[in-house]
Amino acid sequence: MAELGRRMFFTAAGALATVTAVGTHAFASGHARDARTADEYVDVQLLNITDLHGYLQAAPASNAVITGAGGKKYTVGGVAYMAAHLERLRAGRANSLFFAPGDLFSGWEFPAESLADEPTIEALNRMGMNFASAGNHEFDKSPAFLSQHMVDGISYPTVDWDNSFVDSAGQRFHGANFAYYSANMVWAKDGRTVLPPYNIEWVDAGRGRRLPVGFIHLTVLGSELMPASYQPGLRSLDQLATADRCAAELKARGVNAIVLSMHDGAVAGGDFNSGTNPSGPAYELALRCSPDIDAIVCGHWHTAFNMMVPDPNGVRRPFVEAGCHGQIINEINLRLDPATGKVIRELTTSTNHPNTRDVAPHPELAEVVKYWAGYGTRRAAVPLGKQTASFTRTRNEAGESTMGDLVADWALWAGRQPQGPMNDANLDPPTPADLAVIAIAPRLGQAIIAGDLVYDAATDGTVAFGKAWNAVGFGDPIVTATVTGQQIHDALEQQWTVPVGGGLKYAPLAVSANVRYSFDATGPAGNRVDPADVLIDGRPLDVSRSYRIAAPSYTLLNQDGYPAFTGFAQPFRHNRDFESFVAYVKERGRIEPAPLNRVTVKNGGVTGARIGEIHAPERLRSAAGVVLPRAEAAALAANRPTAEGFRVPC
């Protein structure tokens, strides 16, 4: 028997770590099970989703089915169904807050991504999102894009082309009806936070009184160094120290109910509504962060779990993650003491609700989804320019292809562009690139080239928006950086490796049109390229001088197997590959395959000559065996596996 407030509650269940049945709560204690109808406390409902990534119509095939208790499968996804579930969950609740621990937009569904992610913001506005943490992908374009465009609705630079499209209600994009927060993303120059660190929400306590609930927000450590969200002018602070500092500040302001919303996660078994054998950075933080924090809501790892973990004082608190791509709505129910505003931890419950598609879709959100899908179809058909012939990934003897050369030429063009109007997170000026390289069959990860640009005789070679968008990129920027001639030479040598068991593998780099080089087919790996045979603008490579090189961030950050570029200096981030390649084709107007003469083979006919065997990386698959979307596969491949083999989504 335990006394809580003015009522007595009896329980035989004792403290429960978690409950595995779908639709059943995880309880902080047995008292929570017996006290769910208590009315002397202030009820606060917290609803959250995470890592939507702009998947409005449905979850991608690799994430469309989740597993619950007893191995039961649920088909999930789609914001029209989510809105219907939210409406049901909110019914009759006086204090209900809807938020997300990050990565709501900047994903891989064409209608959302190609329309500046404005469709996602409209959907979230209509579903009543109250606030959100900034995930790493919220920084995929720039801090200014997040705060000025996505939140404030400021246009740049061209309305109806780059952004500020008309929404399903016929209104010009006005930004989010909710704010973004991050306590640990700061400007590298002065340490100021990029966004507000926390927010305080006031809930109705009855009789004209209100109580505060504080929300601390964290972005995954190292976001500024991830390929998609690479931002040289940002830094991320230690998560634990930041969370504890913010909790102390909130307590000093009289806030006695505190929730941590963090864009970092963990793994905790295969049942989305329970948790077993948890591990990962968020779990370690959950065990150690301030006991003043009453619940920890996670994201980023694209996993799902619902459990209670002890704080440093041994008192249980929710530790949850709601999957990704609209799979799950997590619900945490807090009970506040009406006099102090403190959370009665023993009465806390938590549930992961599957966003099933077996309910009637919400008509308003269904219309939003339909509108933007149609808009995306029309946008995909917009002509950008003409091509005179097909660009293909078919490689000649030297490993060169017309598609590779085209993409390398685009990268050089991109690396010579001036600073954009919302590109506000660089420390160095946009010194133009001297050359560009593209990994067309990288040793690791995924190739930036997604397919061929096939000549369409029916349209006289028209290159449409969707065709260009889908041919190149997975959401990473082109970066221009200073490297030495020695680094360039070493990277060219690193195209060849000797695998375990012998042989010779070749992972060719495409080079821009102002570069020529040859390699010796009789030389061993590591000694095939003579710097004198590498010409940049007609001059031999000088290993002792510096050059400005343009390449995808993925390559410079050593995510595809050319470590020679490690240690690059004075990086300048340009636009993302999707938008940048479209802009290149549009500006050029007419693109024509170039002769395959940038790379030549020396001694190719000599006995013992070897070009090397090219092995394109296999396409990554989900646990269910479904091929992952290219961009998601690139994000996964960009991270190192844990000891258990789990790859953290980027």
Q: Over the stretch 242-291, which tens digit does the pLDDT of each residue have?
A: 999 999 999 999 999 999 999 999 999 999 999 999 999 999 999 999 99
The confidence score (pLDDT) of residue 1 equals 30
What average pLDDT does range 639-649 have in this prediction? Answer: 49
Which residues, in sequence order, are bridge partners of residue 296?
260, 319
pLDDT at residue 38, rounded to an integer: 57
Q: Which domains does the chain have, with CATH numbers?
A: 23-334+347-372 (3.60.21.10), 381-617 (3.90.780.10)
Element (H, E) at 467: helix 465-471
User: What is the three-state SS of 1-63?
Assistant: CEEECCEEECCCCCCCCCCCCCCCCEECCHHHHHCCCCCCCEEEEEEECCCCCCCCCCCCHHH
Q: How many CA atoms lie within 13 A of 313 on its CB side?
A: 8
As a whole number, the mean pLDDT across the chain is: 91
Stretch 425-437: mean pLDDT, rounded? 98
CB contact at 8 A, 559 and 227: yes
Residue 644's pLDDT is what?
43
- Helix 577-588 crosses helix 402-414 at what angle (to 10 degrees)? 100
Burial grade of 83 (CB within 10 A; 0-12, 13-18, 19 or more): buried
Arithmetic mean of pLDDT, 465-480: 95
Check residue 223 and give its pLDDT. Answer: 97
pLDDT, residue 445, reads 83
Average pLDDT over residues 39-57: 96
- Neighbouring C-beta atoms of residue 597, cutoff 10 Å: 12
% pLDDT > 90, the chain:
86
**Is it the case that residue 16 has pLDDT exceeding 50?**
no
